[in-house]
Structure 1
């Protein structure tokens, strides 16, 4: 059994991930900014820890990660149009998590990013979206350079449709939709797949079963 610390533990993908980790024999530790989320998250099988990622130092992250075998960064600044939160949450939270994991001696780190963020955006792109893309790109770059045992998952446009159990997973894929449930399933799978370390994949809906897609991508 492994303890998996999940930053952004009350997020939509994280809430779908917790039961999958429990089913796989792991203990998800949902890290959230307020204890009021605890009852709902505990009902999903997660333990709950407090971590305000916008107001924490690396040592706070390290304390939150104590006893964990892996960290999943699943936090996001949300669709509220606040450009600053893309930097403080999507980038700052990732950087804090990376530093905290290194300080706590947690080597395994899985990050949920976004498809195509290494590509330049048009000049007329909405400023908030520019900040989001830059934050995700810079967070991924920092993780790749961290020395941790990283895996980066870059989903396409997220939907709330029921999970299909089948996906397309590769270093680059054609842009498309993917359900949040399928993203959660891929994250749960790569945590149990040592050969996924050091890989960065884009993820959209497809026709290959999640486990087979991960194994094929690592071959």
Structure 2
């Protein structure tokens, strides 16, 4: 894994008037990976989690996914191309229907395979899943990891969570403190649980999420972040649990593919991969 900074990247940063120079992170699969093949994905039918599932399978890994809605796990739009929205059929995939806040359901994942690394990419409205689902579910995952000797963990939260509040654009900060206050309270508590876990964790804080094809460019941002494809977030997560010398273990990087100072979260149906009505 190499950190790449180029003249063209710096030029783009000057042109966009970004407040900080991001580090361009271009992950690749290589022989330096951990000797692993079995990955657990929690929240598997979500848009970002499905990217993790699909990409891991395409890489030849075995995946065990937990989701409340197994029928909603589809080939993602970003990486799936013409196959997008089809059911994922792969002998290396095990999908378990269950609730991450139920420890017994979480334990089923680790009973299905010897797990080598875990991605937590949970989502949902607090009105549907409860005010503390992220924190409670992550606690269960961490407990199960320790019981089964699993160390590597990637957890997807958001720009603005934890100590990155000042990295969120102004309009998004308003949302964080109003209509999204409950979910951000849960995300902040979730991050605290992860940081106190003693595991080899990476908390991944993406900027504005899209369902575009992967770009292969992931910028670790010190200032305000721009947008990023869910497919690129998934690649970052998979590297976090598979690359031995991954540079962001024990850290919580904010990532985007586009640096900028005027990003506003796209809450449209298009950004969520939903058909326009």
Is TM > 0.5 for Structure 1 vs Structure 2? yes
Length-normalised TM-score, structure 2: 0.64
After TM superposition, give the deviation of residue 83 of structure 1 in Å: 4.8
Which residue matches 1:210?
Answer: none
Distance 1:199 1:83 in 2: 30
Aligned counterpart for 1:195 among listed residues 245, 259, 263: 245
More helix by share: 1
Distance 1:34 1:108, change over 3 A: same
Q: Which string of whole-angstrom CA distances, capped at 9 and with x for unpartnered residues, describes residues 140-189 of structure 1?
A: 1111111111111110111122221112114x341221111111121122
Distance 1:100 1:191 in 2: 16
- Counting matched residue pairs gives 200
After TM superposition, give the deviation of residue 206 of structure 1 in Å: 3.8
Distance 2:62 2:133 in 1: 24
The structure that has the greater radius of gyration is 2
The residue correspondences of 1:168-179 to structure 2 (distance < 5 A) are 168-170=219-221, 172-179=222-229
After TM superposition, give the deviation of residue 65 of structure 1 in Å: 1.9
The residue correspondences of 1:106-185 to structure 2 (distance < 5 A) are 106-118=150-162, 119=165, 125-126=177-178, 128-170=179-221, 172-185=222-235
Q: Which runs of 5+ in 2 are unaligned?
A: 1-35, 75-86, 167-172, 260-277
Distance 2:70 2:187 in 1: 27
Q: Which runs of 5+ in 1 are unaligned?
A: 208-219
The secondary structure found in structure 2 opposite 1:165 is: coil
The residue correspondences of 1:11-160 to structure 2 (distance < 5 A) are 11-37=46-72, 40-43=87-90, 46-54=93-101, 56-57=102-103, 59-66=104-111, 67-78=114-125, 82-83=126-127, 85=129, 87-118=131-162, 119=165, 125-126=177-178, 128-160=179-211
Distance 1:25 1:43, change over 3 A: closer
The secondary structure found in structure 2 opposite 1:153 is: strand
After TM superposition, give the deviation of residue 72 of structure 1 in Å: 0.7
Distance 2:230 2:217 in 1: 12
More strand by share: 1
The secondary structure found in structure 2 opposite 1:105 is: coil
Greater RCO (CA < 8 Å, at least 6 residues apart): 2
Distance 1:76 1:34, change over 3 A: closer
